[in-house]
Structure 1
Amino acid sequence: MVRVAVVGAGIIGLSTAFALRRRGVEVLVLESGAPGGGQSAGQGRIFRHAHDDPRLVAQVVRSRALWREWEDELGVELVAPDGAVAIGDGVPAKLATLAQVPDAPARGLTADELRARLPLLARYDGPAMLDVHGGAIRTRAAIGALSERLAGDLVTDHVLAVRRRDGGGVEIRTGTDAHVVDHVVLCAGRGTAGLARALGMDLPVELGAHVRLTFERSDECGGPLPTFQDGSGTFGETGVYASPYPGSERYAVGLSGHTPARPDGAVERPAALADLAERTAAYVRRALPGLRPEPVEHVHCWVTALPWGEDGVGIWQHDGVTAVAGHNLFKQAPVLGDALATAAVTGEVPADWRPEAELGRAA
């Protein structure tokens, strides 16, 4: 039987292992900490269909269908049914793109409809839209359900080195063991590029650090909330995203910017993270008066972006090792995990996911 090791138990590593198990492949998942404790940390992510690259739109549509399959198989809600709201001058272009995708219904919102959908928001009269099948990804539920299914395959240990053996197979040296497998899939977040570089694979990852804050709801409306993206600049920022916690009593808010980090993982300007947090809190005071202005939680995480766009993603493969890199990947987890499983089993990366394809390329 083919044996594959997956390095990293974030959402992409778990999705890959789950897809491999479905194909009857023997899997070993290596993770230094708790599953989902790195770049997959937090209570929610945005599922949205609108992207600049039509190929990525198609992949996200496939991913939404797989999220539904997982919900049926795992018996838990993984994407909330409350939609994704976006505002700003880019809305007409997003609606025009999605009008060509029957499986991704979207429509414009009037100011009154927007207020009804998102009562937290200050008065806004500009372009607004609803991505009907978008919503908040239940990250903890997804990590928990996948970890439970893969419990017998998860090993808590840190990976020091990966090398190809002269006699065949790939060796993984961990803190307390050595494993030999047929194929290795590197899904180790910021650690992926370093492990891949030692194998002669150059991943052009731009490392950074990011912060998002969680605020408690103070409005009296109650009820479920959609996810939110603000590209309008009306409230002083143009790259804002927000996602509700389960129950919609808390809302996580972040700015799209990040502060650069060196390849060794050192943040170049630690004070910049505090600056991002202060800007986020200031935005909430201006734009989201339905939230209490003092954050109750912070999430600090790494950004592993590719040069061709903030939604860029790529899969590299060479001689028994597959590596993945990109940013904003949580929504793509089911379809990306399936692509990585295909690459590991067949030795061929699906065309759209190869780095030369530059999937997720910015307009």
Structure 2
Amino acid sequence: MKVAVIGGGVVGLSATVALLRQGVDVRCYEAGEPMGERSAGDTRIFRLAHAYPDMVVLAGQSRALFAGWSERAGAALVDEVGTVVSGAEVGRWADAMAAAGAAHEMVEAGSPLLRLPARAFAGPALIDPSGGVIRVDRIRAFLVDAVGDRLRQVHVDAVEETGPGVRVRSGTDSDTFDAVVICAGAGTSALAAGVGIDTPSALEHHLRFSFPIRPEAPAPLQCWITEPAPGLLGTYQHVAGPGRWAVGGDIDAVLVTWGSGRQAAEQASLAAVTGYVAEHLPFVEPRPIGQVYCTHNPDLGDGLQFVRRGRVLATYGENLMKFAPLLGEMLARACVDGSTPANAGPGAERTSQNTAGNGSVE
């Protein structure tokens, strides 16, 4: 069997590695650097905590697969410091954790179990002890090495169903495959449309900034997902490296709309996040020392989405890093047996577009 994976982010590389382990002849296409766009940066947050029980279960399965990756990589890929979720909706998250049978604890603000860069916040809070910091830098090195010469760094112009298979065109070159997986981030919508698959296409700019951690901060700091604050619809925060605290924030969509341009979005995001740090995080210096930029789809939240048409399977979603090893296994299995993985999270109830098409598959 011959398979093409379009997209060399963490999901595409994970699928390629899983296919290789099944003995499949696979090629991964990526126009830029591997894991260089939506998978950019050196760290992310891992959490079992989600607002939907099925997502909690899947995150647990992914955590077990991360352990396997760590053994093969010879290094820990998740620093298990715990993740805290706070805000008005935290009870719903706790209900989902309980329904999935996942370990967690509800505490009030000020609990000695909390190790956060703020002394006070509106409680209560959920502690996810299995959460922590994903070491994207180590995952990148591990996956790129495992993929080896199966990675082709070219831009894919089109994916087309043909009689004998699925043609992938890049410039003047083309090749035909038995199955294709499209997991190209911001490029998924245009490529999938070529074979009749409709996926969300809206884009906005998103930024995360890092700041120095003050020496008197508690250690080790837990990852933190917070409630809305002035100027921010919510934040996610974690240790981005020795002495560095990363804060990403969702701000007014008007300020980060695609048409406003990246520079304007950077300025608005920097002002909002730095202002938040200065007012709410006494253990962090409000002095930006780094940033990570990526594109973001404002119409998507937590959730895994899969759509098949014939021999082409597209997947999309946001916050997919924590599911990478599981998604790789799911996509590889779907390529081999022609199935379509079930959607999970807020999109699980959507009407599927799946159709037999000309072939018999966030």
Structure 2 gaps, min length 5: 351-362
Asked whether the equivalents of residues 239 and 245 of structure 2 are also in contact (C-alpha less than 8 Å), the reply is: yes
SS of 1:45's equivalent?
A: strand
Residue 204 in structure 1 maps to residue 203 in structure 2:
no
In structure 2, the partner of 1:194 is 190
One-letter amino acid of the structure 1 residue matched with residue 125 of structure 2: A
Distance in 2 between the 1:108 and 1:25 partners? 45
Q: Normalising by structure 2, report the TM-score.
A: 0.88
Distance in 2 between the 1:294 and 1:356 partners? 38
Task: Report the more deviating stretch, 36-45 or 268-277.
Answer: 268-277
User: How many Å apart are 1:115 and its aligned residue?
Assistant: 7.7
Distance in 2 between the 1:357 and 1:69 partners? 28
Distance in 2 between the 1:323 and 1:199 partners? 10
In structure 1, the partner of 2:107 is 109
User: How many Å apart are 1:277 and its aligned residue?
Assistant: 2.0
User: How many Å apart are 1:176 and its aligned residue?
Assistant: 6.0
Alignment of 1:1-363 (within 5 A): 2-102=1-101, 104-113=102-111, 117-118=115-116, 120-124=117-121, 126-166=123-163, 168-175=164-171, 177-221=173-217, 223-231=219-227, 233=229, 237-247=232-242, 249-257=243-251, 259=253, 267-270=258-261, 271-306=264-299, 309-352=300-343, 357-358=348-349
One-letter amino acid of the structure 2 residue matched with residue 325 of structure 1: Y
One-letter amino acid of the structure 2 residue matched with residue 147 of structure 1: V
Give per-residue Cα distances to partners, 1:171-221, cap 9 Å, x unaligned.
111146322221111111110100111111111333222111111212334
In structure 1, the partner of 2:358 is none
SS of 1:351's equivalent?
A: coil
Distance in 1 between the 2:241 and 2:285 partners? 18
State the aligned residue count.
348
Asked whether the equivalents of residues 85 and 229 of structure 1 are also in contact (C-alpha less than 8 Å), the reply is: yes
Structure 1 gaps, min length 5: none
Identity over the aligned pairs, expressed in percent?
36
One-letter amino acid of the structure 1 residue matched with residue 334 of structure 2: A
Root-mean-square deviation (CA, aligned residues, Å) is: 2.5
Asked whether the equivalents of residues 303 and 346 of structure 2 are also in contact (C-alpha less than 8 Å), the reply is: no
One-letter amino acid of the structure 1 residue matched with residue 158 of structure 2: A
Q: Normalising by structure 1, report the TM-score.
A: 0.88
Give per-residue Cα distances to partners, 1:215-265, cap 9 Å, x unaligned.
1212334643221111164x6644110121243x11111113474799xxx
Distance in 2 between the 1:253 and 1:112 partners? 21
Instruction: Call closer, same or farther: CA 1:114–1:236 in 2, change over 3 Å.
Output: farther
Asked whether the equivalents of residues 217 and 283 of structure 2 are also in contact (C-alpha less than 8 Å), the reply is: no
Distance in 2 between the 1:291 and 1:85 partners? 17
One-letter amino acid of the structure 2 residue matched with residue 347 of structure 1: G
Asked whether the equivalents of residues 306 and 342 of structure 2 are also in contact (C-alpha less than 8 Å), the reply is: no
One-letter amino acid of the structure 2 residue matched with residue 242 of structure 1: Q
Asked whether the equivalents of residues 5 and 29 of structure 2 are also in contact (C-alpha less than 8 Å), the reply is: yes
User: How many Å apart are 1:108 and its aligned residue?
Assistant: 2.4
Asked whether the equivalents of residues 305 and 315 of structure 2 are also in contact (C-alpha less than 8 Å), the reply is: yes
One-letter amino acid of the structure 2 residue matched with residue 160 of structure 1: D
Instruction: Call closer, same or farther: CA 1:21–1:355 in 2, change over 3 Å.
Output: farther
Instruction: Call closer, same or farther: CA 1:354–1:56 in 2, change over 3 Å.
Output: closer
User: How many Å apart are 1:314 and its aligned residue?
Assistant: 0.9
Instruction: Call closer, same or farther: CA 1:13–1:202 in 2, change over 3 Å.
Output: same
Distance in 2 between the 1:353 and 1:195 partners? 23
SS of 1:195's equivalent?
A: helix
Distance in 2 between the 1:312 and 1:326 partners? 6
Distance in 1 between the 2:232 and 2:161 partners? 48
Asked whether the equivalents of residues 214 and 283 of structure 2 are also in contact (C-alpha less than 8 Å), the reply is: yes
Distance in 2 between the 1:114 and 1:74 partners? 35
One-letter amino acid of the structure 2 residue matched with residue 194 of structure 1: A
Distance in 2 between the 1:59 and 1:314 partners? 13
SS of 2:157's equivalent?
A: strand
Asked whether the equivalents of residues 119 and 282 of structure 2 are also in contact (C-alpha less than 8 Å), the reply is: yes
Distance in 1 between the 2:190 and 2:307 partners? 13
One-letter amino acid of the structure 1 residue matched with residue 177 of structure 2: V
One-letter amino acid of the structure 1 residue matched with residue 312 of structure 2: V
One-letter amino acid of the structure 1 residue matched with residue 238 of structure 2: S
Distance in 2 between the 1:72 and 1:46 partners? 20
Distance in 1 between the 2:156 and 2:83 partners? 38
